[in-house]
Structure 1
Amino acid sequence: MEKSFAAAAEELFRVPSAVSYTVKKLEEDLGVVIFDRSKRKAEFTPTGQLLLKHGRTILNATENLSTLVIQAESGWEPELRICIDNIMNCSPIYSLIGEFQKQYPHVEIRLVEEVFGGTFDALNSGRVDLAIGTAEDIDSIKYQYLDIGKINFVFAVAYDHPLTKLPRPITIEEVKKYPSVVVSDSSRNLPAKSSGIFEGQRRLTVPTVDKKIMSHVLGLGVGYLPLFRINQELDSGALVIIETSPATNRTNNVGIAWRKENSGKALKWFIERLINIKREAFIS
């Protein structure tokens, strides 16, 4: 901020009288005194300080609005909303976001986590533009689907759980004696889903996959866990894979989905990168 009208005029490539006239005209139009001219150098009055503070905010907002309008006209979204399923490894998407921000800093990114059917629910309801970790059984007319791979699930319990003391394989009737740890589906509009629960089995419902793994380690319940998420617990012996009869280990196909009608350039940028990167990194 310049300390005199003369210095300000020089900075603006204008004559001092023009700057003085502009300030005086502004004071007359607003009916306030912006500068105290009773001293050797003009200083801001409290009202002038307030005008300066909020004036800068307005100018910055105007500049940002202009940028957003230009972006929208050229096909760039002001914000790209991405959803990733809580079961996935987030590292690949964070790497892409970092790369994107360096190239297109004016496009905001909103990243949210959903659980189970909530991932597709977020896309289907229009809350997000790109969903990572959806099931493959979606409407191929409305949505484009890009395969990631299969998630292997294993039946795992704490190392000291009573089931580990029984002869293998463990019968389903023995399994049903203990609560099944279930991750709560975050769907808001579509019917909530659940899996890995046997008829008549009690439930312990938790909010995330991390909490489900913790619950298994603490021996609070039993159930299926994504194999790629529990390698450390298996290596340390905190968790043990149990064979059941009949065999119930399973796999889920997951992928990336978006609306075909969405032609935004930010979405297109991410899709092109996702096609070319090792998508299996999301589940490893």
Structure 2
Amino acid sequence: MPDRRRALTPDALEMMDTIARTGSFAAAARELGKVPSALTYGVRQLEESLDVLLFDRSSRQAQLTAAGEELLREGRRLLQQIDAVANRVQRVATGWETTLAIAVDTIIAPRAIFDLTAAFYALNCSDGPQAGPPPTRLRIRSEVLAGTQEALLSGQCDLAIGVQPLPQQAERLHCAPLGTIEMLLAVAPHHPLAGIDRPVSQEEIAHHRVVAIADTAQRMDRRTSGISPGQDVLTVPSLAAKLEAQIRGLGCGRLPEPLLRAHVEAGRLVVLQVEGPPTQVELHYAWRGGPGQGRALGWWLEQLGSEVTRRALLEQHAGLIL
């Protein structure tokens, strides 16, 4: 195996590619600036190392065998990958991270996240030998409640969008306000609570099943919101699932006001008045700071610094219209 690995060099693969492309050893030798005997010797060495015949010796042309065709096909793929890695390494050296992990709370509008992602990929980086999109690979993960904060605190992500305020003792972490979103109690038109035309009490709500999204935290204390002791609970994995469950009348629950607008207008949901002050959630975005901050994270933070972007993340829930 080591001999085979040493034989499959980029030079050997390029030699095979040139011979196949030009159709003869002589033409390939001229293109590569070598004598034909050097290519003949190189092919023989490669054949001995792999213990296969790569060219049909009965043909006057450089006719590949089936094994030679396979080596050519895979060799060209490997050469492309080698070039891509070389370009990627050189571009990463300009300050772009190899990977940027972003944790997004399910309360954040997915459409706005994908708008930002598309804008990121549309960037034209002139660093290095080739222009093109940033070399940074994005990893976007969905989290809920304390799980979003935990992803950042545990180092599983570099940027968290839609988190509660971070603990003050968190080192090398920075936090900035994203905005406030109002949560309204909503039910399907055929739900028993839908017929009440006055503010309902928490005691009345507690008699009905509530739909809740499961907190994704693994180590931190998981949080719950709007659930009374002893109340029946339907737990779902995402905001989209919670919305679907409530439209079907499977329970009641609070949903972001921007998400509710279209569904209330379409008659799929009814917003209830509730006794007591309105429920508002204060959201932030947080990131890992320190020396050598990458350009990809810097770009995302620049976008999050825009009030228009922050408002879109809290209000642009069109992607969840069913």
- State if a TM-score over 0.5 links the two structures: yes
Is 1:71–1:78's contact at 8 Å kept on the other side of the alignment? no
SS of aligned partner of 2:305: helix
Residue of 212, 216, 219 corresponding to 1:182: 212
Q: 2:32 is matched with which residue?
A: 12
Q: 1:78 is matched with which residue?
A: 98
CA-CA distance at 1:256 after TM superposition: 1.5
Q: How many equivalent residue pairs? A: 283
Paired amino acid for 2:153 = N
Q: Distance in 2 between matches of 1:20 and 1:27?
A: 11
Q: 2:226 is matched with which residue?
A: 196
Q: Distance in 2 between matches of 1:44 and 1:115?
A: 57
RMSD between aligned alpha carbons?
Answer: 2.3
SS of aligned partner of 1:244: coil
Q: Give the direction of change, closer, same or farther, for the CA distance of 1:19–1:119 in structure 2 (3 Å limit).
A: same
Q: Distance in 2 between matches of 1:95 and 1:167?
A: 39
Residue of 12, 34, 37 corresponding to 2:54: 34
User: 195-204 or 9-18, which moves further after superposition?
Assistant: 9-18
Q: 1:49 is matched with which residue?
A: 69
CA-CA distance at 1:144 after TM superposition: 1.1
Residue of 122, 129, 145 corresponding to 2:158: 129
Q: Give the direction of change, closer, same or farther, for the CA distance of 1:22–1:133 in structure 2 (3 Å limit).
A: same
Q: Distance in 2 between matches of 1:123 and 1:206?
A: 23
Q: Distance in 1 between matches of 2:277 and 2:252?
A: 13
CA-CA distance at 1:221 after TM superposition: 0.7
Is 2:96–2:135's contact at 8 Å kept on the other side of the alignment? no
Q: 2:259 is matched with which residue?
A: 229
Residue identity (%): 36
Q: 2:314 is matched with which residue?
A: 283
Q: 1:254 is matched with which residue?
A: 283
Q: 1:166 is matched with which residue?
A: 196
Q: Give the direction of change, closer, same or farther, for the CA distance of 1:6–1:146 in structure 2 (3 Å limit).
A: farther
CA-CA distance at 1:53 after TM superposition: 2.9
Q: Give the direction of change, closer, same or farther, for the CA distance of 1:93–1:15 in structure 2 (3 Å limit).
A: farther
Q: Give the direction of change, closer, same or farther, for the CA distance of 1:248–1:225 in structure 2 (3 Å limit).
A: farther
CA-CA distance at 1:28 after TM superposition: 3.9
Paired amino acid for 1:124 = L
Q: Distance in 1 between matches of 2:176 and 2:134?
A: 26
Residue of 220, 245, 250 corresponding to 1:220: 250
Q: 2:142 is matched with which residue?
A: 113
Q: Distance in 1 between matches of 2:116 and 2:196?
A: 47
Q: Distance in 2 between matches of 1:19 and 1:260?
A: 54
Q: Does 1:147 align with 2:167?
A: no
Residue of 195, 202, 206 corresponding to 2:236: 206
Q: Give the direction of change, closer, same or farther, for the CA distance of 1:45–1:91 in structure 2 (3 Å limit).
A: same
CA-CA distance at 1:67 after TM superposition: 3.2
CA-CA distance at 1:148 after TM superposition: 1.5
Q: Does 1:67 align with 2:92?
A: no
Q: Give the direction of change, closer, same or farther, for the CA distance of 1:135–1:174 in structure 2 (3 Å limit).
A: same
Unaligned runs of 5+ in 1: none
CA-CA distance at 1:83 after TM superposition: 1.9
CA-CA distance at 1:5 after TM superposition: 2.3
TM-score, normalisation: structure 2: 0.79
Is 1:71–1:77's contact at 8 Å kept on the other side of the alignment? no
SS of aligned partner of 1:36: coil
CA-CA distance at 1:182 after TM superposition: 0.3
Q: Give the direction of change, closer, same or farther, for the CA distance of 1:189–1:70 in structure 2 (3 Å limit).
A: farther
User: 219-228 or 164-173, which moves further after superposition?
Assistant: 164-173
Task: Name the one with the larger strand percent.
Answer: 1
Q: Distance in 2 between matches of 1:30 and 1:243?
A: 77
User: 82-91 or 17-26, which moves further after superposition?
Assistant: 17-26
Paired amino acid for 1:243 = Q
